A and B are shown apart, each in its own frame.
Chain A
Amino acid sequence: MNKIIAAGLLGLGMSVSGLAFAEPVKIGMITTLSGGGAGLGIDVRDAFALAMKQANNPDVTVVTEDDAMKPEIAVQIADKMIQSEKVDILTGIIWSNLAMAVVPSVTGQGIIYLSPNAGPSPLAGANCNANYFNVAYQNDNFHEAMGEYANADYKKVFILAPNYPAGKDSLTGFKRFYKGELAGEVYTQLGQTDYAAEIAQIRASGADAVFFFLPGGMGIAFTKQWAQSGVDLPLMGPAFSFSQDVLPAIGDAALGVKNSASWSHDLDNAANKAFVAAFQAEYSRLPSVYAAQAYDTANLILSAMGKASISDKDAFRAALKEADFDSVRGSFKFNTNQHPIQNIYVREVVKEGDVLTNKIIGTAFENHEDAYAKDCKM
């Protein structure tokens, strides 16, 4: 009986404390749910929904729409969500070219945007914005970590990325920390599926290792074709090329590959263990790095809702900037440009039972900041 009364009182206390900011918050999620990049968007949507379900906060509504990986569709959805759905917050975009098309316009209209994945460099530096929070990373970060990692073992690396904003940020990031010589530098088409021409160039280049950034289906195609090419060089890349969403399709060709990320499912902290277990229970698969970032994004929004009302934008932004939530990445805080300061780890693709996944083998950077924060006047 006492327990029931205690529970009742606790519930009452929570509802009272919640009352102060019981302002409904409407979140618009624009993400990629169809086409070749859908695996990434679905992980973002599902992890975000998981966090919302766990919080069980009746004041939040989330509307989700598919951008089909097309900038013009993303822009239309953003306009519609702002004008007819009257959302307070937007989030969800996976790809940097879509983020570049949407973010400056929505933040200019006073809508808060939280990025669960893309972090193009122009938005991190001189064009930073008080309404733009990047919960994932600045695009260069994971690649910088691989550049640093490559210094130890390799002298002549061949680098490869798609020809779009994140691809340019990728190779720029790698070159910022890599000290050796480059055997070659190639930009491929976004969405390209055949890499025979590039693999031939790598073979002829005399490289001693290959760094590549090819998220989604592009990475699957490249790695499988690489395994058949007869070129025997070590591969490395950012986590996007070997994330949980693509590993099953690549198969054993990915075993032993080193890649960098701010998160891995074996990262040892309580929030992460609970997240991985809950995600597996809910969706019967391992979460990817995109899922982890989206889960953090949702919990960041929820933490800010407990501190400030969305109608007071200044207070709400200040509450977001405190980053007072249990990140599944362990230590997490915002830099002056509202991009993360976080650890970047080196992971290796391993087999746990029958499941291909990643295991942390080292830390490339501790509390790593991006290179553009100094240009941000905010």
Chain B
Amino acid sequence: MQTALLIEQILNGLQFGVMLFLMAAGLTLIFGVMGLINLAHGSLYMVGAFACATVAAATGSFWLGLIASLAAAAAAGALIEVTVIRRLYDRDHLDQVLATFALILVFSEGTRWVFGSIPLYLNIPPLLSGAIPLPGGSAYPLYRVAIIGVGIAVAVGLHLLITRTRLGMRIRAGESDREMIGALGVDIRTLYTVVFALGAALAGLAGALVGAIQSVQVGMGEPVLILAFVVIVIGGIGSIHGALVGALLVGLIDTLGRFLLPVALAAFMGPSAAASIGASLASILIYVFMALVLAIRPRGLFAAAG
């Protein structure tokens, strides 16, 4: 097997992993601090992509679009936290799932109402277009390298935020004991809104970054949401570190599985059958992995305290 191809596929797996991390970080943060299952996280991802596409089309600048995606997703997140989510913290998970599922429908149909069903155009900025050479004569798209860079920067930033800042201290305190931190005089309502908006902004950023290389359309968030849930279950619900490790593992397993399984199967069956069966097996691989992790560590790899 060619080394260049393998290197390229590992990079692809990393890039997919950091993209999942941006989604999973917000999801796991919100669950860890507020105990809330937010199915509408995928809608915030969609909001980010649509905001970026709209602003980029109006101004011609992807970078302004990127800022707009952060702002729009954070604003949408803060808005639904104040109007809907806030009423759900004391309810059980079933009510939360029901209400946030309703939010998915509201966001999807609202977006379709405003933008229509035809996918929007969003392309990557000229600065990041093209490919950079890899050892072995291969090449790799510059934009995907940039996504990996953004993902690492966000991971480092979140780590510093949680371990080094006052806000991070409060988030950790909120994770361990919600009543106590309220009793100590921290404005828990504002803290929740801030954490929710932060998680939403990360989802919006992921949506905008990915929208530029995929398609910006209604319903784009839900497939990613499912994978993000797989990631946080593997990583341990509530743990940012777990989300990072889980996301990278899922990204690598999925990408390398799709690439290597058909090749492996081709050793003892026809290429057509191997392609077809390999593709089917690869699509269940991450779920098999999740089941294995849960069998060995039922609370995930990095289970949060509490």
A and B are partners in one complex rather than unrelated chains: yes
Q: From the candidates A171, A189, A217, name the one contacting B215 in the complex (CB within 8 A).
A: A217
Do A196 and B12 have beta carbons less than 8 Å apart? yes
Count of residues in A whose CB is under 8 Å from the partner chain: 43
Interface of B is mostly: helix
Interface positions of B from 25 to 76, Cβ below 8 Å from A? none
Question: Which B residues lie within 8 Å of A221 (CB)?
Answer: 213-215
Residue of B nearest to A230 (CB): B131
Q: How far is the CB of A101 from chain B (nearest CB, A)?
A: 18
Residue of B nearest to A205 (CB): B5
Do B16 and A194 have beta carbons less than 8 Å apart? yes
Question: Which A residues lie within 8 Å of B258 (CB)?
Answer: 188, 197-198
Q: Does B231 contact A (CB under 8 A)?
A: no
Q: Does B158 contact A (CB under 8 A)?
A: no
Q: How far is the CB of B214 from chain A (nearest CB, A)?
A: 4
**Contact pattern, A 32-68, Cβ under 8 Å of B = 1, otherwise 0:** 0111101100100000000000000000000000000
CA of A33 to CA of B120, assembled, Å: 16
Do B214 and A229 have beta carbons less than 8 Å apart? no
Question: Which B residues lie within 8 Å of A36 (CB)?
Answer: 215, 217, 219-220
CA of A42 to CA of B217, assembled, Å: 14
Binds B, one of A85-93, A126-134, A243-251: A243-251
CA of A138 to CA of B138, assembled, Å: 39
Q: Using a Cβ cutoff of 8 Å, how many contacts connect chains A and B?
A: 141
Q: How far is the CB of A39 from chain B (nearest CB, A)?
A: 5
**Contact pattern, A 127-156, Cβ under 8 Å of B = 1, otherwise 0:** 000000000000000000000000000000
Q: Does A333 contact B (CB under 8 A)?
A: no
**Contact pattern, A 201-227, Cβ under 8 Å of B = 1, otherwise 0:** 101100000000000010011001100
Taking residues whose C-beta sits less than 8 angstroms from the other chain, chain B's interface range is: 35 or more
Q: How far is the CB of A93 from chain B (nearest CB, A)?
A: 17
Do A35 and B218 have beta carbons less than 8 Å apart? yes
Interface positions of A from 335 to 360, Cβ below 8 Å from B? none
Question: Which A residues lie within 8 Å of B5 (CB)?
Answer: 200-201, 203-204
Interface positions of A from 230 to 245, Cβ below 8 Å from B? 230-231, 245
CA of A248 to CA of B115, assembled, Å: 14
Q: Does B298 contact A (CB under 8 A)?
A: no
CA of A285 to CA of B258, assembled, Å: 38
**Contact pattern, A 84-122, Cβ under 8 Å of B = 1, otherwise 0:** 000000000000000000000000000000000000000
Do A188 and B112 have beta carbons less than 8 Å apart? no
Q: Does A313 contact B (CB under 8 A)?
A: no
Do A229 and B141 have beta carbons less than 8 Å apart? yes
Q: Does B139 contact A (CB under 8 A)?
A: yes
Do B139 and A217 have beta carbons less than 8 Å apart? no
Q: How far is the CB of A311 from chain B (nearest CB, A)?
A: 37
**Contact pattern, B 8-27, Cβ under 8 Å of A = 1, otherwise 0:** 11001001100000000000
CA of A249 to CA of B50, assembled, Å: 12
Q: From the candidates A39, A182, A186, A251, name the one contacting B118 in the complex (CB within 8 A).
A: A39
Question: Which A residues lie within 8 Å of B302 (CB)?
Answer: none
Interface positions of B from 196 to 233, Cβ below 8 Å from A? 210, 212-220, 222-223
> What are 26 A-B pairs with beta-carbon distances under 8 A?
A34-B109, A34-B218, A35-B222, A38-B112, A38-B217, A38-B218, A38-B219, A42-B118, A163-B279, A163-B283, A186-B275, A191-B223, A196-B15, A197-B12, A198-B258, A200-B5, A217-B214, A217-B220, A224-B123, A228-B129, A228-B131, A228-B213, A229-B131, A230-B141, A246-B119, A248-B121
Given A189-B283, A196-B12, 14 other A-B contacts at CB below 8 A?
Answer: A34-B219, A38-B117, A39-B118, A191-B223, A193-B215, A196-B16, A196-B141, A196-B144, A198-B258, A200-B5, A204-B138, A230-B140, A231-B139, A246-B119
A residues lining the B interface (CB < 8 Å): 33-36, 38-39, 42, 163, 168, 171, 182, 185-189, 191, 193-194, 196-198, 200-201, 203-204, 217, 220-221, 224-225, 228-231, 245-246, 248-251, 253, 285
B residues lining the A interface (CB < 8 Å): 2, 4-5, 8-9, 12, 15-16, 108-109, 112, 117-121, 123-124, 129-131, 138-144, 210, 212-220, 222-223, 255, 258-259, 262, 271-272, 275-276, 278-280, 282-283
